[in-house]
Structure 1
Amino acid sequence: MTSTPYTVADVMTTQVIAVTPDTGFKDIAAAMERWKVTALPVLEGEGRVVGVVSEADLLPKEEFHDHHPGLVEQMRRLGDTAKAGSTRAENLMTTPAVTIRPDATLPQAARLMADRHIKRLPVVDANGTLKGIVSRADLLKVFLRSDEDLTAEIRQSVVERLFPLSHDAVKVTVSQGVATLTGNVRDRTLIPMAERLTHAVEGIVDVRCRLEARPRP
């Protein structure tokens, strides 16, 4: 349990299947099928990521297998037609690879995936060396946290910090990831902040804030 935001390093897969620039087309396709992945990082040297080869990069070979595009189509789809005639990862891969650092937050990773319309990101250090890979499924792992764990974190990192004098009067319950805060607190102005901070706890699906301020004597 921690109030520190989860990072990519917390959820990424560290055992990554990768290929080299000279890996052949059939070996790439076989690796994707064997390991049930849709994309593979391409590494050179001591593990530096130079690109990513995906199913989308392989499909032009099938698309143009029995179809010979005319000059106009070749010019319009220059990249795809070039890949259709390629046999090695270095000519098939998308480069530069879209990568992310291990210390990036999960929302940052999610936004990058959404913006670039990709399903997974190689995780690299400052030198571009592969450290892992993070997928959409990995980002959802935080929602597997137990209700008990979430309840304890909300109480410790939100309620006890915001309401040191009245935290005993606040009840925190979490059911299926939905947090409910009930009770009376001394400072009405802190109630909206309590709701926002509870929303920010990794793994929380929704928040029902029913806190009220105690009447002043």
Structure 2
Amino acid sequence: MRIWHHLEPALPRFHAGEPLRAGLGALIGISLCVGLAYASATHGQASFYLVAPLGATAVLLFCVPNSPLAQPWSAVVGNISAALVALVAVWYIPGPMAIGIAVGAAITAMMFLRALHPPGGAVALLTALNPEAALAAGPWFALVPLGVATVALVLCATVYNRLTGRKYPFRLPKEEPAHAPRLGLSTDQLGELLERYNQSTNLGVADLGRLLAAAEAEAAQHRFDGTSCADVMTRDLITVGPKTSLKEAAQLLRKHRIKSLPVVEAGSTLRGVILQADLLGLIAAQDRPLARKQQARQTVADVMHSANRAVPHDLPVGVLLNRLAEEGSDVIPVVKARQLVGILTRTDIMRLLLQGADERAAA
């Protein structure tokens, strides 16, 4: 049974419609190359013709467009460099020995150029098996037909993949996002992880980042057994209105020993949040007469934070862990149909984390 298990398909089932999408893309791409070859022959340019490895290039470009092996540099430079190396091999090494040397040298060259493209191995093999046409064309064989046809396929794949919902070419942005949701790992660290497990040619850094982000979000949702924000939020709230004076807001914060006040309108509609830190900055400026006059006229609406930090009451609380840790949020309003129903603070999250800590330590 273990032997049969290793002989089973290694690929998961493709999403419905994906085989048709990829197949149709390859049909269009190869048909474009056929059209270019036919047009060239019609105008007396017999140097442009199709080579079999382009079919393998089409598989990568349309079936796995996110793969590092399918990116434009890999496809174009890989095919061209493999053809050039194979030409050198068959030119200087006569006989059957040139075949193996051409393929091995082509793979080595592609890896040195960081342009590994599996069809390039087929390009080298085809060139070594049938060297007459390649030798007759000379180094131009690598550019016409091979280079031009590969560029045509890449351009077609760029347009087709984007029109059908796949991003190609696929590269990481040059600047790291402010809060990359990937377990706190930077792009360089993700790359080092791929290098450590020798997976750089099988999986791109961007793909690994997306997988880790999805896994992190999924784990966060299940970490607290479906606990929602409504289950742990503080419900007994002290609130103020937008027209409440700053002096009155400061008195409420001091009296109840709290660090924030939700700002609501009639019907408990959330307008924003005012923090203790906001008022401390104003108090520090009281030594200036002009600042005191301005503060006397200011209301809560003038200094409150917007309500865009609010979260729905049924959101899994685990999703907020990164937000509290990375964004530095001290308080998060919880709403239900835009109505304030509670707030979540770091204290609420800490209380949840500490629940059952003794039992987990004993286990």
TM bucket normalised to smaller:
0.5 to 0.7
| TM-score of the pair, normalised by structure 2 | 0.35
Structure (1 or 2) with the greater helix fraction: 2
Which residue is equivalent to 2:282? 61
- Identity value in percent: 25
| Superposition RMSD in Å | 3.0
CA shift, 1:13, in A, is 1.1
Classify the secondary structure of the residue corresponding to 1:130.
strand
1:121 aligned onto 2:296? no
For residues 53-202 of structure 1, what are the structure 2 equivalents within 5 Å?
Answer: 53-67=274-288, 87-125=298-336, 127-146=337-356, 175-178=358-361, 180=363
Check conservation: 1:18, 1:42, Cα contact below 8 A: yes
**Aligned equivalent of 1:36, options 254, 257, 264:** 257
Classify the secondary structure of the residue corresponding to 1:178.
helix
Check conservation: 2:244, 2:300, Cα contact below 8 A: yes
Check conservation: 1:64, 1:84, Cα contact below 8 A: no
Identify unmatched segments of 5+ residues in structure 2.
1-223
Which residue is equivalent to 2:269? 48
Classify the secondary structure of the residue corresponding to 2:261.
strand
Q: Distance in 1 between matches of 2:253 and 2:352?
A: 26
Q: Distance in 2 between matches of 1:86 and 1:118?
A: 28
Q: Distance in 1 between matches of 2:280 and 2:312?
A: 29
Which residue is equivalent to 1:185? none
Structure of higher RCO (CA pairs closer than 8 Å, 6+ residues apart): 1
Structure (1 or 2) with the greater strand fraction: 1
CA change 1:57–1:86 in 2 (3 A) is: farther
CA change 1:108–1:17 in 2 (3 A) is: same
Check conservation: 2:262, 2:270, Cα contact below 8 A: yes
Check conservation: 2:246, 2:295, Cα contact below 8 A: no
CA change 1:58–1:97 in 2 (3 A) is: farther
Instruction: Supply the AA of the counterpart residue of 2:260.
Output: A
Shift >4 Å, 4+ stretches: 83-86
Check conservation: 1:58, 1:84, Cα contact below 8 A: no
Classify the secondary structure of the residue corresponding to 2:323.
helix
CA shift, 1:179, in A, is 5.3
CA shift, 1:30, in A, is 1.0
